[in-house]
Structure 1
Amino acid sequence: NKLKQFARDISKLKGLYIPHWTYDSDTTTDYIGQRGEHYYTTETYTDSEGNDQTRQVQDTHWYPAAGRVGVSFDDILVPASDTLPRKYVDELEPWDLPNLTPYTDEYLSGFQSESYTTDLRGGFNLAKDKMAPEIDSKIRWDIGGDVQRIDSKTTYYQNITFKYILLPVWISAYRFKDRNFQFLVNARTGEVQGERPWSWVKITLAALSVIAIIGIIVYFASK
C-alpha cells in the first residue's frame, strides 16, 4: 500500500541526533500525610419491592502519618531541545543507554545534530517532575494502610551527576486527506511515535522495514 511505499523511500526520512540530559540522583523526602484504613458497617434499606434488606457499606478511618523515604535514580532522561514535540520524544523511550559510546565525528555521518536549548538547571527541574511519581509511590508504601493521602513533602537531592548525550531519531512527515502528519522513529529500537491517521501497527511495521533496509545498506557499504 501507499504507506509501505512511503516507508521504503529512505530519501523521505531525515536523520537527527536529539540532545538529551541524563541525571543520576539520590533523594531523601520528608512527608506529612494520612493513612486510611477501611472498615465496614451494616445498613438496612428497602428494596424496590418494599422489602427490608441489609448491605455492607465501606467507610474509612484516617490516621496521621509522617516519615522520611529515600529513593535513588539512575539515568533520568530529559530532552534538551524543544524542536520536536516533547510528548512524542519522551514516548520514544526506552533507549539502550548502557550501550552509549563516546562521541566521534563518524557517528554524525548522514545525520544532522542539534544543540541544546534546555540548559542543565532547566533539565534537572524537568527530571524532578519525572522522579516525583516514584517518590510518591514510595511515600504511599511507607504510609501503609488501605489508602493514603500526601499532605506535604520536601525532597532533598544529593550526589547529583549528569551526562549530555545525543540520541538518533528518524523523522518524516506525510500528507493524508489534506493534512500533514509528522512521526518519529527511535533509530535504535524502531519505536514509532507521532500523529497517527492510520493504523499504528502498520506504521510501526513500515518503520521497522526502513531500519532493516538501512542496516543492510550500512552492512554492505562497510564491506
Structure 2
Amino acid sequence: MSAVFKTLNPKRPNTLQFPCRQCGAVLKYAPGSTHLLCEHCGTENVIELRGGAIEEYDLGQALRQLTQTPTTTAAAPTIHCNECGAGFQFEAKNHAGECPFCGTPIVAATAEIKPIQPKSLLPFRIDEANARQRFQQWIAGLWFAPNAVKKYARSNTKLNGVYLPFWTFDSQTATTYSGERGDVYYVQERVQVVRNNRVVTETRQVPKIRWTPVSGRVQRFFDDVLVGASNSLPRKILDALQPWDLHALIPYDENYLSGFRSEYYQVELADGFDLARQAMDNQIYLDICRDIGGDHQRIHQVDTHHSGTTYKHCLLPVWSAAFRYRDKSYRFVINGRTGKVRGERPYSIWKIAFAVLAALLSAAGIYYYLEKSGALENMQNRPAAVHPSPYRQSPDYDSI
C-alpha cells in the first residue's frame, strides 16, 4: 500500500488529554488492560477497540516521496495544557509525556513534526512494579558486579515508561553467489612420537580439504525485520530486547500513550532499511553456506536483489532507568511486553582478579596431577579426532 504523508505544521500542534467520564480527572493507561484508570476516583474507562488490519506500505514509493518533500528543521512545538493552562515544550524527540507544571498526561500529534506517523503499537503488558521486580532479579544475578551496584536493586528508583519508535521491513530476496566447497578427506602420514621415553614412528590419519568451485542461487522472504528508530539507547540494547510479539500489534491509538512518554523516530526510513538489509545479509550468508554444503565454505561473490519491499512504523513499550556508579551512568531497559531486561553494567576488578587467580591455581593443580599420573603423556600422543561440521565456514571466508 502507498505511504501516507502529512504536511508539517510545527506551530499549532494537536494535543490530546483524556478526562474521566465519572469525575473529569485526567486518565492514565493501565498496563496489561484495555482501559484507562482514573487515579482520583478509581473508575476504569474502557478503550474502544479500533478495527482495521495492520497495513504494510511500499518502501520504494515512500523513499521517492521523501526525496521530493522539502526537509525542514522545525523547533519543538509549544504544548498547551488544558488542565493548568501552562504552555511548554516536550524534549525535541518526544511527542507524549506529562505537563511539567501539573503532571497531566498529554499526547501531541506526531504529524506536526514527522512526515511518517506510527500506524500501530504494542501496549504495555507489565506494570512498573512488575518491571522493577524483573530488574532486581536481573541485576542480582550479574556475575562480577560490584556489591554497591547490587544494593541498587533494592532501591525504589522510579522507572520511566516509554514507547520507542521502530521500523519493520518485509522483503523478498533472490541472491546469486559464487564460491568454493571444501570437503574433508584423510591421508596416512608417518609421524614420530615419544612413548615411554622412546621416539617411535607411527601412522596417523591426517585431514585434508579438497576445494571445488561452486555457484548457485538462494531465495528467502523476510518478514518483519525489526529496526529500532530511536537514538536514546545503544542499538545493541535495543536489538537485545527482541523478540517482540509483533503479531499482537494493534492500530495506533493515543489512549495507550496516556501517562507514558513516547518518541518520534530519529532514524530515518532509508537508514532504517540499510540496517535491516545488514541483518538480512547475515541470514543470506548462512543460507548460501547451507546451499554450498560440504564441510567448509568460501564465498567470493554475492549479488542480492530485493523485491516487493514494504515497511511499517510502530511504537513498542519499554521501562527504562539509569544508575550511577563511580561518576558514570549505566542505562538499562525492560521489555514492556515480556519483562526481558538488558542494559549496561560495571564490573568489579577485584572479583575478576580473584576469579582469574582461582582458575589459574585450579589449572595448575590439574596439570600437576596429570603429569605425575602419566595421563598427560598419553593425551599428547593420542591421535586427534576430527568431526566436520556441515555448515562450518573456513577461516579465510571472504566477506562482501
Q: Give the TM interval when normalised to the shorter protein.
A: 0.7 to 0.9
Letter in 1 for 2:171: S
The match for 1:30 among 176, 184, 193 is 176
2-structure distance, mates of 1:109, 1:139: 47
Give the total of aligned pairs: 196
The match for 1:150 among 284, 292, 299 is 299
Q: In the alignment, what sits opposite 2:239?
A: 90
User: CA 1:179–1:121 in structure 2 vs 1: closer, same or farther (change >3 Å)?
Assistant: closer
1:1-223, aligned counterparts within 5 Å?
2-6=151-155, 9=156, 12-48=158-194, 49-197=198-346
- The 3-state SS of whatever aligns with 1:123 is helix
* Cα deviation, residue 168, structure 1: 0.7
2-structure distance, mates of 1:153, 1:70: 13
* Cα deviation, residue 115, structure 1: 0.9
Give TM-score, length-normalised by structure 2: 0.47
Gaps of 5+ in 1: 199-223
* Cα deviation, residue 178, structure 1: 4.3
1-structure distance, mates of 2:259, 2:206: 65
Structure with the larger strand share: 1
2-structure distance, mates of 1:27, 1:172: 39
* Cα deviation, residue 177, structure 1: 4.4
Cα shift readout 1:39-63 (whole Å, capped 9, x = no counterpart): 1001111112210111111111100
- The 3-state SS of whatever aligns with 2:276 is helix
2-structure distance, mates of 1:119, 1:197: 32
Letter in 2 for 1:106: N
Letter in 2 for 1:97: L
- The 3-state SS of whatever aligns with 1:51 is strand
* Cα deviation, residue 174, structure 1: 1.6
2-structure distance, mates of 1:189, 1:173: 20
2-structure distance, mates of 1:170, 1:124: 26
User: CA 1:179–1:119 in structure 2 vs 1: closer, same or farther (change >3 Å)?
Assistant: closer
- The 3-state SS of whatever aligns with 1:107 is helix
CA-based RMSD of the aligned residues comes to 1.7
Pick 1 or 2: higher relative contact order, CA cutoff 8 A, min separation 6. Answer: 1
Give TM-score, length-normalised by structure 1: 0.83
Structure with the larger helix share: 1
1-structure distance, mates of 2:206, 2:179: 25
Letter in 1 for 2:300: D
Cα shift readout 1:17-59 (whole Å, capped 9, x = no counterpart): 1100000111000100101111100111111221011111111
Q: In the alignment, what sits opposite 2:42?
A: none
Structure 1 or 2, whichever has the larger Rg, is: 2
Letter in 2 for 1:27: T
Identity of aligned residues (%): 48
Letter in 2 for 1:56: Q
* Cα deviation, residue 181, structure 1: 1.7
2-structure distance, mates of 1:35, 1:148: 5
Letter in 2 for 1:107: Y
